[in-house]
Structure 1
Amino acid sequence: MTTAVWFVLIGTLLIMMGLRSPILQRFRLTPTLVYLAVGIVLGPSVFGAFHFNPLKQAHLLEVLAEIAVLVSLFIAGMKMPVPFRWQEWHTPVRLAFISMTISVALTAAFGYYVLALPLGAAILLGGILAPTDPVLATDVQVRHMGDKDPLRFTLTSEAGMNDGSAFPFIMLGLALLSAPTSYELLGAWMLKDVLWATVSALVVGLVMGRLLAQIVRKQHFLSSEGPLLDDFLGLGLIGVVYGICLLLEAWGFLAVFVAAISLRQSELRLAGTNLPARDAGAVTDSSVTSIQTGESTPERSPRISEGSLLFKEPLERLSELVLVLLLGGMLFFDSWSFRAVGLALFLFMVVRPVSVLLGLLGSGTPWRLRMLVGWFGVRGIGSIYYLMFAIVFGLPEDLAVEFIHITLVVIVLSIIIHGLTVRPMMLKWWP
């Protein structure tokens, strides 16, 4: 396909989505399903108009997926309606860390005993496929600032955290592929990749989000002439936080999500300090109301939180379109092996529900919420990034090819199955 054809294709799809075609609404098709269908039809599976080779283009695909995940995590963090309090966050934290670990273990067991993979490769595959996705799960995401729907909040916050909490298992799998299992290896992994990388990511995210909020507040008081460039501030925070984490060998995905929450909640808190004591308690509600209605109150409502989303949400949708189109262009008929399909079904029907139920034991979470969360474990761009990361890191070619087939099938089936069931299930089972 020529460059001109690509422009026409992507432009047409964007116009269709922008107009909200009645055909798509009638059949309740999600945008991701449409992009995937177009990619498969034009890709090597049907017409062969284009083919994107993930093995040869691993560096490019890694960067594209990395950017998409970072932007999506920042947007998700900005939309979180509550600050860090255990009462509100205990369910997603359990899912992101306890359920994540169980999911990796069950998937690794399937890979080791059923697919006959080496132990390191099985753990690596579990890490690649375990995280849920904040990019493709748009129908079960938090819709706007102030959206406190328990199901949407739980799924969005879980996806925001487990894109970072999966990284230790990626590193463990890669380490076991290049060295025999030993107490020294496991000890170093626990100290560096689990404790240090996780704690330092949380600290960096919290500090940098709060620091930027303080800087913007002081700038606003010192010079109220000239508007601040909120898009640049938000993108700058993503870049600084992620860069610091790379230097510290911390988990940047987790840090960016935490930084967005910290920035948003710090802005709300600082806005409250500018009001008389009798009005301070109402700041959050008034800010949320103004965001939902589109009204702005410069003295009270946060600056960056509002403005940066106007640019980043379209960027997120564009990256989703491009990556899902490329996903369709990676698939061949021989990708659909019994091994790949079997693992995908095991992941959806066994791993996700079991890991959610075990991770939430004793949490007091309503059973209806547990069951819906146990079904809507959408896999997507995060898995593509981890796969490309492993390939660039030096994953052997034979394993890389098999993992590409498995990961693509899992993501495609997740888009189809979850995409077709999300709206009916939300209408029937969730108020």
Structure 2
Amino acid sequence: MDHEIVILAIFAFLYSIVAGKTERSVFSGPVIFVFVGILMGPLVLGWFEGVAARNQLRMFADLTLVLILFSDAANVDLSVLRSRIAIPSRMLLVGLPGVIALGFILALVLFDTLTFFEAAILGTVLAATDAALGKSVISDTRLPSWVRVGLNSESGLNDGLCVPFLFIFIALELNAIGLSENPVEPLLVVVQEVGIGLAAGLGLALIGGLLLRLSLKLGWVTEVWMQVTVPALALACFALAQELHGSGYIAAFCGGMLFGHLLDDKTHQFVVAAEGVGETLAMITWLLFGSAVIANVIGLVTWEVLAYAVLSLTVIRVLPIFLSLAGTGATVRDRLFLGWFGPRGLASIVFAIIVLDSELQGAPFIALVVIVTVVFSLVAHGFSARPMTAWLVGQKAVDK
């Protein structure tokens, strides 16, 4: 165990001193972390044993996702969001159901081992996009602010909106195979997940934000402890919503948005600490993913799995989002760009673990498809971020 900590600490230090250079290259942080995890794992050097329990991976993935959701939401420019609210609302209310439906249909076509509801589960798990993997695009100031805010808002909320549908489909499958006798009330599940998530996130953020403003006015906040404020509040929003059976992801994102509004120009100095913690947790999560997960599934991949992974990142995601943005004023390039940047990552991994814990017959196969899709997404979205941004920015310059 000690030697693994030494290796991890040295790698974290070395990456931290070249992160600025790396972020300006085509190699994204997660791609590097996964590659290093594979290199250090049992497939190559064997420095890491490659054993990670589901709960360990889920814990790191949840913590990472929560901090990034809260931080990104706190930095959202609400005036820009209000002016172009049609973009994220169309993507969430029209595009997201379309992605789930198309993913479900193609899963039924390609995988005869999956049942009706298991195919729906797979479509839902891979409909959630990753705010962490999209960070390089969301934070690129060369892009129009409405594009960045639209992607940020969509990725921040769509995983929370996928949660109730995931639980509904799991419950329906358990009912279908006779492992559960509890009837499913879809509308109640959706209202509970979304409503409780909103209430918990906004309630805690309001109380926390007002207390922090008072503390700042009284001069009680210190430079050391201000680094704890946002991570603690973000985790509190998530944990309270989860404890009350709501969506912790919706709570974290909506709480972060309200917190940013309440703190206004002081938001950045509080959020930057959370971003640092989030990046560190992301590094650990992706290293675990590379060393412990990929090594266990690499020999199980079939051409059908590869085909579905490619379709998930292209047709299944891009077509519904592209169609959902018709009539919003977004150009064809804008719509293609917004459709393409729906990377799959931490949220899909967490959802796959939830499915595995449900012990459905098709759960291991669903997890396999998710893992392969996430790996493809890491590479495809990581390497395409800068070229695609330049493509869109270049077109904007021509339009002007």
TM range (shorter): 0.7 to 0.9
Task: Write out per-residue CA displacement over residues 386-426 of structure 1, whole angstroms, 9 at most, x where no aligned residue.
Answer: 1112223x223x52322232111111111111111111121
Report sequence identity in percent.
21
Residues in 1 aligned to 2:289 and 2:204: alpha-carbon distance in whole angstroms: 34
Residues in 1 aligned to 2:72 and 2:81: alpha-carbon distance in whole angstroms: 17
Matched, 1:15 2:10: no
Query: C-alpha displacement at 1:309, in angstroms?
Result: 2.0
Matched, 1:173 2:135: no
User: Residue 138 and residue 84 in structure 1: after superposition, are their counterparts in 2 closer, same or farther (change >3 A)?
Assistant: closer
2:64–2:279 CA contact under 8 A, matched in 1: no
Equivalence map 1:185-264=2 (5 Å): 188-191=185-188, 193-221=189-217, 223-224=218-219, 227=222, 229-264=225-260
Residues in 1 aligned to 2:216 and 2:381: alpha-carbon distance in whole angstroms: 45
Matched, 1:354 2:316: no
Equivalence map 1:287-366=2 (5 Å): 301-302=265-266, 305-329=267-291, 330-332=293-295, 333-366=298-331
Task: Write out per-residue CA displacement over residues 153-174 of structure 1, whole angstroms, 9 at most, x where no aligned residue.
Answer: 2222211111201101210221
SS in 2 for 1:179: helix
SS in 2 for 1:166: helix
Residues in 2 aligned to 1:266 and 1:138: alpha-carbon distance in whole angstroms: 23
Residues in 2 aligned to 1:206 and 1:25: alpha-carbon distance in whole angstroms: 33
1:38–1:328 CA contact under 8 A, matched in 2: yes
1:353–1:375 CA contact under 8 A, matched in 2: yes
Residues in 2 aligned to 1:406 and 1:53: alpha-carbon distance in whole angstroms: 20
1:99–1:358 CA contact under 8 A, matched in 2: yes
Equivalence map 1:101-180=2 (5 Å): 101-116=97-112, 117-142=114-139, 149-180=145-176
User: Residue 87 and residue 121 in structure 1: after superposition, are their counterparts in 2 closer, same or farther (change >3 A)?
Assistant: same
Equivalence map 1:45-124=2 (5 Å): 45-53=43-51, 57-82=53-78, 86-116=82-112, 117-124=114-121
- 2:398 matched residue in structure 1: none
User: Residue 132 and residue 19 in structure 1: after superposition, are their counterparts in 2 closer, same or farther (change >3 A)?
Assistant: same
Query: C-alpha displacement at 1:67, in angstroms?
Result: 0.8
User: Residue 403 and residue 220 in structure 1: after superposition, are their counterparts in 2 closer, same or farther (change >3 A)?
Assistant: same
Query: C-alpha displacement at 1:99, in angstroms?
Result: 1.4
Residues in 2 aligned to 1:195 and 1:226: alpha-carbon distance in whole angstroms: 38
Query: C-alpha displacement at 1:364, in angstroms?
Result: 2.4
Query: C-alpha displacement at 1:72, in angstroms?
Result: 0.9
- 1:408 matched residue in structure 2: 371
Residues in 2 aligned to 1:379 and 1:407: alpha-carbon distance in whole angstroms: 9
Which of the pair has more CA radius of gyration? 1
Task: Write out per-residue CA displacement over residues 92-147 of structure 1, whole angstroms, 9 at most, x where no aligned residue.
Answer: 12213321211111111122232021122112111211111011222112358xx9
2:90–2:324 CA contact under 8 A, matched in 1: yes
Matched, 1:3 2:12: no
Query: C-alpha displacement at 1:5, in angstroms?
Result: 4.0
1:44–1:331 CA contact under 8 A, matched in 2: no
Unpaired segments ≥5 residues, structure 1:
269-300
User: Residue 38 and residue 235 in structure 1: after superposition, are their counterparts in 2 closer, same or farther (change >3 A)?
Assistant: closer
Residues in 2 aligned to 1:151 and 1:85: alpha-carbon distance in whole angstroms: 10
Matched, 1:419 2:382: yes
Task: Write out per-residue CA displacement over residues 344-398 of structure 1, whole angstroms, 9 at most, x where no aligned residue.
Answer: 1111221111110222233222322111111111111111111112223x223x5
User: Residue 178 and residue 149 in structure 1: after superposition, are their counterparts in 2 closer, same or farther (change >3 A)?
Assistant: same
Residues in 2 aligned to 1:37 and 1:259: alpha-carbon distance in whole angstroms: 34
Residues in 1 aligned to 2:24 and 2:107: alpha-carbon distance in whole angstroms: 40
User: Residue 179 and residue 35 in structure 1: after superposition, are their counterparts in 2 closer, same or farther (change >3 A)?
Assistant: same
User: Residue 53 and residue 174 in structure 1: after superposition, are their counterparts in 2 closer, same or farther (change >3 A)?
Assistant: farther
Structure 2 length normalisation: TM-score? 0.87
- 1:380 matched residue in structure 2: 345
User: Residue 195 and residue 19 in structure 1: after superposition, are their counterparts in 2 closer, same or farther (change >3 A)?
Assistant: same
Which one-letter code corresponds to 1:354 in the other structure? L
1:95–1:158 CA contact under 8 A, matched in 2: yes
Q: Which runs of 4+ in 1 moved over 6 A?
A: 184-187
SS in 2 for 1:80: coil
Query: C-alpha displacement at 1:152, in angstroms?
Result: 2.0
Which one-letter code corresponds to 2:359 in the other structure? L
2:34–2:286 CA contact under 8 A, matched in 1: yes
Task: Write out per-residue CA displacement over residues 60-115 of structure 1, whole angstroms, 9 at most, x where no aligned residue.
Answer: 22211111111111111111012596433221122133212111111111222320
- 1:288 matched residue in structure 2: none
Structure 1 length normalisation: TM-score? 0.81
User: Residue 262 and residue 368 in structure 1: after superposition, are their counterparts in 2 closer, same or farther (change >3 A)?
Assistant: same
Residues in 2 aligned to 1:215 and 1:225: alpha-carbon distance in whole angstroms: 11
Which one-letter code corresponds to 2:87 in the other structure? T
Query: C-alpha displacement at 1:49, in angstroms?
Result: 4.2
